[in-house]
A and B are shown apart, each in its own frame.
Chain A
Amino acid sequence: MSVLVRLLRGIWSLMLGLGVTLKNLFRRPVTQTYPHQKPELSAAFRSAIALVNFPASGSHDCVACMQCVNICPSFCIKVEGDKPEGLKRKRATVFEVDYALCSLCGLCIDVCPTNTLKYSKTYDDVGYRRDQFVYDLLTPFRAGEAAWRERARVAAVEAAQPASAGPAAAAGEPEVGR
């Protein structure tokens, strides 16, 4: 008797399990067919860092303070800067990130004094070589760099006329898209 009861109980337990499967068979699929459906990225999504384009100044606001370089645990940021003529603050001339090394911890973004760093939203970068992931963050700003410097110089000269003041170009309140 006990053998038969155990056998029937065992079969019944398998039936119960199949019932769960059957229930799910008629549910809508939850998978996303990736290349055809693109994922919706959250606002906080972290990808390689990028420089913010401030509408007020029409450019980024990296002052080459090296704080991000110093805090980076992966040592993947390279920044160089010069001091544009007539300005008090420095200006980045090189800003490279080796995304292959980046661990996306966000310490550089926390530490940035001018809030000019943000996460970009790319997620599908591929490459055959490691050096393809060394991103030059200044690329979008190269074309307007000379004009920015000229504007900043003029603004600095104008600001210096009535009283000594800081560079006006960087004074606009930026919108930081983080």
Chain B
Amino acid sequence: MAEIWGEPAPQPLAGNGDDTYYLNMGPQHPSMHGVLRLLLHLRGEEILEAEPVIGYAHRAHEKMAENRNYLMFLPNSSRVDYLSGMIYNLAYCQAMERLLGIEVPERAEHIRVIVSELNRISSHLLWFGTFLLDLGGVTPFLYAFDDREEILTILERVTGSRLTYSYGRFGGVTQDVDALFVEQTLAFVARLRGRMPDYHALVSDNVIFRHRCEGVGLIDQATALRYGVTGPCLRACGVPYDLRRAEPYGIYSRFDFEVPTQPAGDIFARYLVRLAEMEQSCRIIEQAVAALPAGPIMPEKQKKRFKPEVGESYFAVESARGHFGIYIVSDGSELPLRLKLRTPSFANLSAVAAVLKGTMIADTVAILGSVDVVLPEVDR
């Protein structure tokens, strides 16, 4: 980075003479989740400093928003974080609904909760698989992807796509769900519950996995709060903060679920929190399916052009990675004046850089993987 920006080359840190070794990890590294370059300052195997160099997947989403009308930004929203595209897509719709003052029909609200939670489980399952792949375990990856495939099939039947869903519209959703969707969803929940003991037997109790994870990559509460870490990483430090509970949006206040936390703050704690969260998502899905009312999925009066009044709105949701916020400033025209995305991975990655200091290089991949950063979301 230094050579690009014309900054002086990184100076060897005080006290280590000339034997500081600079290692570029990434941007094309098998265990980097996306295009992240970590510039590691090493003394032997010890990491003195880790500089994340980001921007390789920068697509200027925020700038793009300023050049197209509100509807035209819809496909962008699920491409910010492609692993929980549904949550992001619906978050943008909800932000716009707040700005425009649109009421969402009950049925659409319930469908949104079901598909969001399915998406959250699929994101966690993908994390579970790839994280263990980073640690050298190939088998859990295959099982996790088998389960994730079920979710993708369910969502594909309803939304038509498998990853970048443009499912939401301002005021509702595009397609209604049918009895088969409900049946498949409940079957999946039962299937995932049946799989959980296998996952625990295969991974959680595995002695090699435990040795690599316990007590490694500690993010303490103070660091987490200072860097604005959110999501499972924050809950793994013992802070029971979940936007679905702390600041309920949509109809989340109606559901009975727990916010799983772990006190330790290490890799294993983050792992346990995510696994527990999948179970909580299953509970929310079951309640939402049971309460799914009949009715319309879009408001009766549908507008084709959206011109919000002058003003601003901030809307935040709990994505699979943490606090995702959308801040929209409207000047009364058809284009947003400014659209700012607050993405959780950016804050979480900043904390990783701090946490990596003083750890061993062999743990880098495990620590980075456990935080679950999605690079397109960091760069946006």
Contacts and interface: CB of A to CB of B under 8 A. Distances in A.
Interface in A84-106: 103-106
Contact of B160 (A9, A42, A72, A103): A42
A19 B74 contact: no
Interface of B: 68, 71-76, 79, 139, 143, 146, 149, 156-161, 164, 166, 169, 174-175, 198, 201-203, 205-208, 210, 304
Which 10 pairs show the lowest CB-CB distances between chains A and B?
A10-B207, A105-B75, A44-B160, A46-B160, A73-B72, A105-B166, A42-B157, A103-B75, A20-B202, A16-B201
B206 A17 contact: yes
Contacts of A161: none
A107 B206 contact: no
A153 B68 CA distance: 39
A67 B305 CA distance: 11
Contacts of A20: 198, 201-202
B127 to A, nearest CB: 19
27 contacts: A9-B207, A13-B205, A16-B201, A16-B202, A17-B205, A17-B206, A19-B201, A23-B198, A24-B143, A30-B146, A42-B160, A44-B159, A44-B160, A71-B71, A71-B72, A73-B73, A73-B74, A73-B75, A73-B76, A104-B75, A105-B74, A105-B75, A106-B160, A107-B71, A107-B166, A110-B174, A119-B160
A165 interface: no
A21 B161 CA distance: 31
Contacts, number: 78
Contact of B174 (A14, A45, A104, A106): A106
B205 A16 contact: yes
A41 B74 CA distance: 24
Nearest to B69: A71
B-side interface mostly = helix
A75 to B, nearest CB: 9
B107 to A, nearest CB: 17
A46 B161 contact: yes
Contacts of A110: 169, 174
A64 B202 CA distance: 59
B166 A14 contact: no
A109 to B, nearest CB: 9
B149 A30 contact: yes
Output the residue of A17, A103, A111 with the most chain B CB within 10 A.
A17
Given A45-B156, A103-B164, A17 B202 contact: yes
B49 to A, nearest CB: 35
Contacts of B166: 103-107
A11 B207 CA distance: 8
Output the residue of A44, A74, A104 with the most chain B CB within 10 A.
A44
A23 B208 CA distance: 21
Given A9-B207, A10-B207, A104-B166, A17 B160 contact: no
Given A13-B205, A17-B206, A119-B160, A73 B68 contact: yes
A13 B206 contact: yes
A163 to B, nearest CB: 32
Contacts of B160: 42, 44-46, 104, 106, 119
Given A20-B202, A106-B166, 6 more contacts: A42-B157, A44-B159, A44-B160, A71-B71, A73-B74, A111-B304
B143 to A, nearest CB: 7
A44 B202 contact: no
A25 to B, nearest CB: 11
Contacts of B73: 73
A66 to B, nearest CB: 13
B164 A44 contact: no
